[in-house]
Structure 1
Amino acid sequence: MRLQHATWPEVEAYLQRATGIIVPIGSTEQHGPNGLVGTDAICPEAIAWALGERHGVLVGPTQAIGMAQHHLAFPGSLTLRPSTLIAVLRDTIVSLARHGFTHVFFLNGHGGNIATVNAAFAEVQAERSLEGRSGELELALFNWFAGRRGRELAESLYGDAEGSHATASEVSLSWFARPEAVKQVPMSPRVAPTGSAQCDADEFRRRFPDGRMGSDPSLASVEHGARFLEAGVEDAWEAYRAFIGQP
């Protein structure tokens, strides 16, 4: 069940039986020569939608623009400032809590979001404490790319060529979700250089000229993407059930 495809009476009825919601969050940024700019939002969204269909959990709209300042030297990349993303997440969480949601589970596709999402959680909880608000509100962040099954699958398929950005696993999953957008592009060098992304946008492009970090996404395939979807669904469902206290 997707929030944006439901009516308000349907959401009200859902809240009579469950108070948890999954919110996909990602980024809009370059993903190398063959990766889609929307990869980091497409991947968690695909997993979340599958969870909603299979398990009846409500899925919120995807927060598709995140923290991506270091990618701004590549056309098409968009970013929010940390303060802006914190404000967006805070208002999203407070809106959901206002309706009676008690467990908000952010399913993340972008490593650069992690610190800011956790800061947003801290802001929300601090505000509630300082204002003396009562009532349960639990917040969680789960990174689909860090799930055990997904990591094991990437290791078995790609080994060290998986890398850390514009990876074959995320490109595969995004292609499975959007097969009409598959791109076949030669990579040179085959495996990209490694290094730190802690820099400004121009320095990032100097370090990683085609946007990849230690990866060879020419290994990606739609068939692999189907397998990553299944692994991601199992990992995320396991984490979500633990979060809401469901055995």
Structure 2
Amino acid sequence: MRLQHATWPEIEAYLQRDTGIIVPIGSTEQHGPNGLVGTDAICPETIAWEIGKRHGVLVAPTQNLGMAQHHLAFPGTISLRPSTLIAVLRDTITSLARHGFTHVYFLNGHGGNVGTMSAAFAEVYADRSMRFGPQPAGELHLASGNWFAGPRVRELSASFYGDAEGSHATASEISLSWFARPEAMKEVVMSPRIAPVGSAQCDADEFRRRFPDGRMGSDPSLASVEHGQRLFEAGVADIWENYRAFAGRS
């Protein structure tokens, strides 16, 4: 069930039986020569939609813009400042909590969002703890999970790509995005085959000097739709297991 495809009475009825929701969050940023700019949003969104379909969990609209300033030297990247993303997440959570959602789970597709999400959660909890007078009604639990970090996905990625997986524009994320959008597959020769490794803790111009084609330690020419389908099933299993434990679902 997707929130944006439901009416308010349907959401009100959902809240009578379940107060959990999944919010996909990603980024709009370059993903090397053959990766879609929307990869980091497409991947968690695809997994979240399937969990919603299989298990009846409500899925919120995807937060497509993330903290991606280090990719801004590549055309197409759109980044939010960390402070802006914190504000967006705080308002999203506060809106959902007002309606009675008690378990808000952010399914993430971009490593650069992790620190900012943690800061946003801390701000929300601080607002509730430090408010004078009556406290906000009801409980509120926040959690996040990275689709690419689950045990099944990590095992598959290692078996498919080994050291060529890398840390950005990875073969696994390209594969999953191609499974979701097969019409967007791109065949590109990588040179060098495996990209340089290093840190992304820098500004955009320095990032492009370190990683000229946008890849970090990866060879996404190994990606395939077939791999993407298997990673999709693994990701659905990993995240459902994680979400179920968080939300107390049977």
| TM class by smaller structure | over 0.9
1:111 match = 111
2:182 match = 179
Greater CA drift, 134-143 or 22-31: 134-143
Residues 164-189 of structure 1: per-residue CA shift (max 9 Å, x gap): 00000000000000111111111000
Deviation at residue 159 of structure 1 after TM alignment: 0.3
1:30 match = 30
1:229 match = 232
SS at match of 1:21: strand
Deviation at residue 133 of structure 1 after TM alignment: 2.4
1:241 and 2:244 matched: yes
1:155 match = 158
Residues 182-201 of structure 1: per-residue CA shift (max 9 Å, x gap): 11111000000100000000
Alpha-carbon distance between aligned partners in 2 of 1:25 and 1:31, rounded to the nearest angstrom? 16
Alpha-carbon distance between aligned partners in 1 of 2:144 and 2:116, rounded to the nearest angstrom? 11
Deviation at residue 129 of structure 1 after TM alignment: 1.0
1:60 match = 60
Alpha-carbon distance between aligned partners in 1 of 2:147 and 2:53, rounded to the nearest angstrom? 18
Alpha-carbon distance between aligned partners in 2 of 1:244 and 1:133, rounded to the nearest angstrom? 20
Residues 87-130 of structure 1: per-residue CA shift (max 9 Å, x gap): 00000000000000000000000000000001000000100111
Match of 2:221 among 213, 218, 221: 218
Alpha-carbon distance between aligned partners in 2 of 1:245 and 1:5, rounded to the nearest angstrom? 25
1:200 match = 203
1:10 and 2:15 matched: no
1:70 match = 70
Deviation at residue 246 of structure 1 after TM alignment: 2.7
SS at match of 2:17: coil
Percent of residue pairs identical: 81
SS at match of 1:226: helix
User: Which residue identity is paired with 1:125?
Assistant: Y
User: Which residue identity is paired with 2:116?
Assistant: T
State the TM-score, normalizing by the size of structure 2.
0.98
Gaps in structure 1 of 5+ consecutive residues = none
2:149 match = 146
Extract structure 1 runs of 4+ deviating beyond 3 A: none
Alpha-carbon distance between aligned partners in 2 of 1:11 and 1:135, rounded to the nearest angstrom? 18
Alpha-carbon distance between aligned partners in 1 of 2:58 and 2:127, rounded to the nearest angstrom? 26
State the TM-score, normalizing by the size of structure 1.
0.99
Greater CA drift, 131-140 or 70-79: 131-140
Residues 105-161 of structure 1: per-residue CA shift (max 9 Å, x gap): 000000000000010000001001112324200000101111110000000000000
Alpha-carbon distance between aligned partners in 2 of 1:104 and 1:133, rounded to the nearest angstrom? 16
SS at match of 1:212: coil
2:21 match = 21
SS at match of 1:15: helix
Alpha-carbon distance between aligned partners in 2 of 1:103 and 1:134, rounded to the nearest angstrom? 14
2:124 match = 124
User: Which residue identity is paired with 2:84?
Assistant: T
1:89 and 2:92 matched: no
Instruction: Give the paired residue count.
Output: 247
Residues 25-59 of structure 1: per-residue CA shift (max 9 Å, x gap): 00000000000000000000000000000000000
